[in-house]
Chain A
Amino acid sequence: MSSPVADDDLADLVENLPCGYLSLSPDGRVLRINATLAGWLASDATALVGQSIHALLSFGGRIAYETHLAPMLRLQGKVDEIALDLLRSDGGKLPVIANATEKRANDGTHVLTRVTLFKAVERRAFERTLVDARTKAEAAASAEHDDAVLREQFIAVLGHDLRNPLAALDAGVRMIGDRETLSDRGRFLITEMAKSVGRAAQLIDNVLDFARGRLGNGISLTRNAQEPLGPVIEQVVNEIRVASPERRIITSLAIEENVDCDRARIAQLASNLIANAVTHGAPEIAIEVSARTEGGNFILCVSNGGAPIPPAARAQLFQPFFRGAVRRSQQGLGLGLFIVNEIAKAHGGTMEVISSDAITQFVFSMPLTDSRDRSQ
């Protein structure tokens, strides 16, 4: 039992709701439209009654209504938060968000559809900027990725092509050193040249490994579990002793079990770690190289003395192109430790670093057998 005053209030409320209200017949004609919505459309409410919903919508909105809204309403009975553009009588568009429900009789017959509409000018503008920003970000990311791939392919090709002239240079230097009569100064220079060629070859190998790793092929391994690993480590140490005779390198090898690994890669790893110790360690403190098998793992430690690695730098050691504070002449590309880490990962192993005032130690640990074999 509502009072006339309350009824009047309710009618007034519907007319002047702070949102648009619309009811539609089952065939999509306007049964009722409130004053708020008619005002938005700059039209007269009575003129709109009986017209098709299409008259109130932009062209895109009409098609969206027919292909999406109407079917969803029939299937679900309601639809929430649908974006539509209303068509004003002056031809302008008004973005709105619509909620709609179907009123159905007890037997399921469609009686009418009720639609509430909310202005969404700001929201649509905001969404537009979001979509634009995403499109731009996607394009930028894609271009950047293409650039990066191209750059890495370039590095790979350049590195590969540099090998041939360098091999010729290496052969020539060796031939002069072995066969030609040289002054003492000439002998000294040719030895230094041979070292430089060796270092250049190592840099190229690092660059190629890096490019391969980045281009998705990863570091490939040729594993062999039978051959002993000890002589490989000893050979690496000897090469460095020859190149840096002033440095003391102490080795302790206890490799008692077979290690299923790529010997050349482990040699590369050991060589990079020991060369690092030579470059960064205090010259008066001996470098210690230990290799052992223990608890199903192969463990290689390389330690040196001298100033510790700052904690901030430790986190980035294994990143490509990371270079510590060293003299300019000693600078490499900063790929050595990155490749060490890639070789460790390829073997299912890990790299750890401990650095204090007393000692800086790099520890490589890997399972003795290929874990992928065991799982099969």
Chain B
Amino acid sequence: MMFAHGFGCDQHMWTAVARAFEADFRVVLFDHVGAGQSDLGAYDAAKYASLDGYADDVVEIGRALDLSDAVFVGHSVSAMIGGLASVKAPGMFSDLIMVGPSPRYVDDDDYVGGFSHAQVEELLEFLADNHLGWSAAMAPVIMGNPDQPELGAALEQSFCATDPEIARQFARATFFSDNRADLPKITARTLVLQCREDIIAPPCVGEYVHAQVPGSRYTLLDATGHCPNLSAPEQVTAAIRAFV
């Protein structure tokens, strides 16, 4: 069972939920390039300009671990990344659990994503403007020893570490993505987990994903905010357990 974190955090956001499945599954956690303890040197602005680059990484991890018929659990943008990976590597993931997914954040004609183009631009501007304010709090903690990051990790656990520049590009790739056409291609057994109140992926978007992914199931969680894996981990755990 592979867990993937979304924009803004790292694999730590899955700790509570993943622990519940350790007895029954081989649990795989990872940080996307640019987040957490990932190798920032592996970042390639061209590759990660779209979600495909991130999906390729998921497939690469799956191949390295020789996964077949595995369960993929993706939060936020990683729900869509998992969907893309499942299409790229048929047979790797039999089950796909999408927590707070959105195939497109920006409204388009009849489609309601919840964001306007101007709002996404404002978000990107905000991330750029607050470079220093965010980097101080979020930058990976490396205690003056860049050659041995593991020392930093041992000294101070840093949650949700994100390189600010990469975070901004990840935000652009995420919030300007449009993967609506990929949803019908998903053949894995799919569960959509939706929060009651979520400004990033509102219920109407979760319902859209449910309608577009063939044979998918939909569960509305009694949770608010965008991170039920943190605010309501027991509900998320129960919903996944009931599905797999």
Cβ of B42 under 8 Å from chain A: no
| 20 further contact pairs, Cβ within 8 A, besides A82-B134, A110-B231 | A54-B199, A58-B126, A59-B123, A63-B123, A64-B8, A66-B199, A66-B226, A68-B162, A70-B227, A71-B9, A72-B137, A72-B160, A75-B9, A75-B230, A83-B130, A83-B133, A85-B126, A127-B132, A130-B132, A131-B131
Q: Show 28 A/B contacts (Cβ-Cβ < 8 Å), sorted by A.
A: A27-B225, A60-B122, A61-B126, A64-B8, A64-B134, A66-B198, A66-B199, A67-B76, A68-B9, A70-B225, A70-B227, A70-B231, A71-B13, A71-B227, A74-B231, A75-B160, A76-B159, A79-B137, A81-B136, A81-B137, A82-B134, A83-B130, A97-B133, A120-B133, A127-B130, A127-B131, A127-B132, A127-B133
- Mask, A234-249, CB within 8 Å of B = 1, is 0000000000000000
Contacts of B125 in A (CB 8 A): 60
A82 contacts B123, CB within 8 Å?
no
A-contacting residues, B93-138, CB 8 Å: 119, 122-134, 136-138
A: residues with CB less than 8 A from B are 26-28, 54, 58-64, 66-68, 70-72, 74-76, 79-85, 97, 110, 120, 124, 127-128, 130-131
Distance A81 CA – B128 CA, assembled complex (angstroms): 16
Cβ of B83 under 8 Å from chain A: no
Residue of B nearest to A83 (CB): B133
B129 contacts A26, CB within 8 Å?
no
Distance A82 CA – B139 CA, assembled complex (angstroms): 12
**A64 to B: closest C-beta gap in Å:** 7
Distance A128 CA – B131 CA, assembled complex (angstroms): 9
Per DSSP, are chain A's interface residues mostly helix, strand or loop, or mixed?
helix
Contacts of B227 in A (CB 8 A): 66, 70-71, 74
**A260 to B: closest C-beta gap in Å:** 34
B230 contacts A67, CB within 8 Å?
no
A75 contacts B12, CB within 8 Å?
yes
Contacts of B138 in A (CB 8 A): 68
Distance A71 CA – B119 CA, assembled complex (angstroms): 22
Cβ of B224 under 8 Å from chain A: yes
Distance A216 CA – B132 CA, assembled complex (angstroms): 35
A81-B136, A81-B137, A82-B133 as given contacts; A72 in contact with B126, CB under 8 Å:
no
- Mask, B16-49, CB within 8 Å of A = 1, is 0000000000000000000000000000000000
Contacts of A26 in B (CB 8 A): 231
Per DSSP, are chain B's interface residues mostly helix, strand or loop, or mixed?
helix
Contacts of A79 in B (CB 8 A): 137
Cβ of B6 under 8 Å from chain A: yes
Cβ of B7 under 8 Å from chain A: yes
Contacts of A85 in B (CB 8 A): 126
Looking at the complex, which one of B129, B224, B225 makes contact with A128 (CB distance below 8 Å)? Answer: B129
A-contacting residues, B123-170, CB 8 Å: 123-134, 136-138, 159-160, 162
- Count residues on chain B whose CB falls below 8 Å from chain A CBs: 37
Distance A64 CA – B138 CA, assembled complex (angstroms): 12
Contacts of A83 in B (CB 8 A): 130, 132-134
B160 contacts A68, CB within 8 Å?
yes
Cβ of B239 under 8 Å from chain A: no
**A94 to B: closest C-beta gap in Å:** 13
Cβ of B200 under 8 Å from chain A: yes
Question: Residue among B123, B128, B133 with the most chain A CB within 10 A?
Answer: B133
Residue of B nearest to A80 (CB): B137
**A113 to B: closest C-beta gap in Å:** 12
The 8 A-B pairs of least Cβ separation, nearest first, read A83-B133, A60-B126, A67-B8, A83-B130, A74-B230, A75-B159, A66-B226, A27-B224
Contacts of A68 in B (CB 8 A): 8-9, 134, 138, 160, 162
Contacts of A28 in B (CB 8 A): 224-225
Contacts of B131 in A (CB 8 A): 127, 131
Looking at the complex, which one of A66, A74, A127 makes contact with B200 (CB distance below 8 Å)? Answer: A66
A67 contacts B7, CB within 8 Å?
yes
Contacts of A61 in B (CB 8 A): 126
A66-B226, A71-B13 as given contacts; A60 in contact with B123, CB under 8 Å:
yes
**B196 to A: closest C-beta gap in Å:** 10
Residue of B nearest to A72 (CB): B160
**B201 to A: closest C-beta gap in Å:** 10
Question: Residue among A63, A68, A83, A97 with the most chain B CB within 10 A?
Answer: A63
